[in-house]
Structure 1
């Protein structure tokens, strides 16, 4: 894909992704668009998906309708190969703007002034603290349950209940690590926003 601005790149990848998700060929998508009165050819769609042709705002709306996706979803899509930390997710927006905040802004649920961004970051930290606490509680309960089984857990290591507990502990440790990492990043972002006040 050519070196596209981030919004164009996100949209091109989103069209490809959601078209495949809906199990539509390029020909079928072109047919649906024609039925909606928006004449993009199969070649136009191929060029849009490959970033060789710029999509218009009219194309965005028609393609979103044809794919049954909200325009905000297509605009806030993150391509797998898009570098996250160094570049903005969308053209002209702050580099530290994260995908959920971008989508909320596109849907009119928040603004991007400093006060709103600070409030968003505070809410995100609060949500992640709750999530982290929830995973800690679940992990503690699974470990206590395994501890209560005592010797039985050692002797019957492949018993379904013991295997299930070990799986829950492993999953809980992973979820907790992810939540703590997300929380640390959110706290750092909040501090950055506060320092700019």
Structure 2
């Protein structure tokens, strides 16, 4: 959680002193020294502190609790003591937000719903990409001759962005389906 406080404080471009001032204005005074200790894991964060800090940083307690630094290596065990060892950050956040339980059946249902949403997203990206390809085909030789023209460049960017979005959603879907099969015991 200490990294989460630092991350969201910096994201909001606040110094520790400024965050301490915001908390004071919210009637939950925490000194800058105490905040610095929290960020260094040298001081525990109470539930009241968590709620006030999350509000001051325009996020939620669940986001702060489920924050995992991008440069953190994959954990060898669970994200937190007592949790299933295969839970990931998105499922953890869903659980913290009360959107799922952590029993096997609930987890399978949550991953099935997630796979369904990703299938819809992939289909949407595919449809958008095919529309952009059709526009490019309609331009024909003009697209090659006028490749520097702003409308042609925007169309090329749309295609590039669409290919990237489609690729990302397909990778996410494949990973989700793999997790779903693992939970079901299919793998």
Query: TM bucket by the smaller chain?
Result: 0.7 to 0.9
**How many residues are aligned here?**
186
Give the direction of change, closer, same or farther, for the CA distance of 1:133–1:47 in structure 2 (3 Å limit).
Answer: same
Per-residue CA deviation, residues 31-54 of structure 1 (Å, 9 max, x unaligned), is: 343455545332221121122333
Give the direction of change, closer, same or farther, for the CA distance of 1:145–1:51 in structure 2 (3 Å limit).
Answer: same
- Equivalent-residue separation in structure 2 for 1:31 and 1:78 (angstroms): 26
Measured after TM superposition, the shift of residue 66 of structure 1 is 3.4
Match among 8, 12, 16 for residue 2 of structure 2? 12
| Unmatched 5+ stretches in structure 2 | none
2:170 maps to 1:187: no
* Bigger RCO of structures 1 and 2 (CA < 8 A, at least 6 apart): 1
Q: Which moved more, 1:131-140 or 1:35-44?
A: 35-44
Match among 106, 121, 135 for residue 116 of structure 1? 106
Measured after TM superposition, the shift of residue 21 of structure 1 is 3.1
Match among 22, 39, 45 for residue 35 of structure 2? 45
**What TM-score do you get using the length of structure 2 for normalisation?**
0.87
2:65 maps to 1:75: yes
- Equivalent-residue separation in structure 2 for 1:177 and 1:33 (angstroms): 42
2:118 maps to 1:128: yes
- After TM superposition, what 4+ stretches of structure 1 lie above 6 angstroms from structure 2? none
Per-residue CA deviation, residues 47-78 of structure 1 (Å, 9 max, x unaligned), is: 21122333233332332243343211211122
| Unmatched 5+ stretches in structure 1 | 1-10
